[in-house]
């Protein structure tokens, strides 16, 4: 299934071809519209000329933060998000040899995958659950027990970015989130 989270062909193509881009897009998806968050990796690639884990991990932090803040910024909080992007790149480089997919291909099961994902900066339980569902639905990654750790995000429907396959499903996810927030308020 083709990824169409960003509704931008170049950004979506990067998410489809790069596990690291998908991971970083997921990390950026907080307090920012999801399609803009997932465009962050493409903005970085355009500005750096690549989206290689090693290059990002070893980039000068001040220069990288300045690049991330260049309009249009990669996030509404570009400085702190730039630091997280670099921290995740260093973790992927040091713990997984620069191969992001090892995060899930070497996980023993769904619980181990959740443990690995929640150990990353910017990934709490809910974000990790969504990422596990995203991996299952978009990449076919389904370690034993993935449904139980992904919770409601594993279900069919339009609950999160894991369910976005086109502009229509993006709007349905937005509508679901809006209704959920309204229900929580009243």
End-to-end Cα separation, the chain, in angstroms? 38
What's the CA gap between 66 and 68, in Å, rounded?
Answer: 5
Dihedral sign computed on CA atoms, order 23, 28, 32, 35: negative
> In angstroms, how far is CA 159 from the centroid of its own chain?
15
Per-residue pLDDT of the chain (186 residues; tens, 9 = 90+): 578 899 899 999 999 999 999 999 999 999 898 999 999 999 999 999 999 999 999 999 999 999 999 999 999 999 999 999 999 999 999 999 999 999 999 999 999 999 999 999 999 999 999 999 999 998 999 999 999 999 999 988 898 999 998 889 989 998 998 888 888 887
Cβ atoms within 10 Å, residue 49: 9
Q: What is the pLDDT of residue 1?
A: 53
Cβ atoms within 10 Å, residue 127: 18
What pTM did the predictor assign?
Answer: 0.95
All domains of the chain in start order, with CATH: 9-156 (1.10.340.30)
Long-range contacts of residues 132-138, Cβ cutoff 8 Å, at least 24 apart: 133/160, 133/162, 134/22, 134/26, 134/160, 134/161, 134/162, 135/104, 136/162, 137/1, 137/162, 137/163, 138/1, 138/3, 138/22, 138/162
What's the CA gap between 35 and 5, in Å, rounded?
Answer: 6
């Amino acid at each position: 299934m083709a990824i169409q989270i960003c509704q931008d062909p170049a950004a979506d193509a990067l998410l489809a071809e790069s596990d690291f881009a998908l991971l970083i897009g997921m990390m950026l998806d907080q307090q920012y519209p999801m399609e803009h968050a997932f465009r962050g990796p493409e903005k970085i690639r355009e500005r750096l000329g690549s989206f290689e884990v090693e290059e990002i991990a070893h980039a000068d932090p001040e220069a990288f933060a300045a690049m991330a803040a260049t309009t249009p910024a990669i996030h509404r909080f570009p400085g702190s998000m730039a630091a997280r992007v670099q921290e995740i790149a260093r973790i992927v480089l040091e713990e997984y040899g620069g191969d992001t997919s090892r995060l899930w291909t070497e996980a023993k099961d769904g619980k181990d995958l959740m443990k690995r994902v929640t150990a990353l900066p910017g990934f709490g339980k809910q974000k990790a659950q969504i990422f596990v569902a995203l991996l299952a639905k978009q990449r076919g990654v389904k370690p034993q027990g993935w449904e139980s750790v992904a919770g409601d995000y594993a279900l069919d429907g339009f609950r999160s970015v894991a369910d976005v396959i086109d502009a229509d499903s993006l709007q349905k996810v937005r509508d679901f989130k809006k209704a959920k927030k309204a229900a929580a308020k009243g």
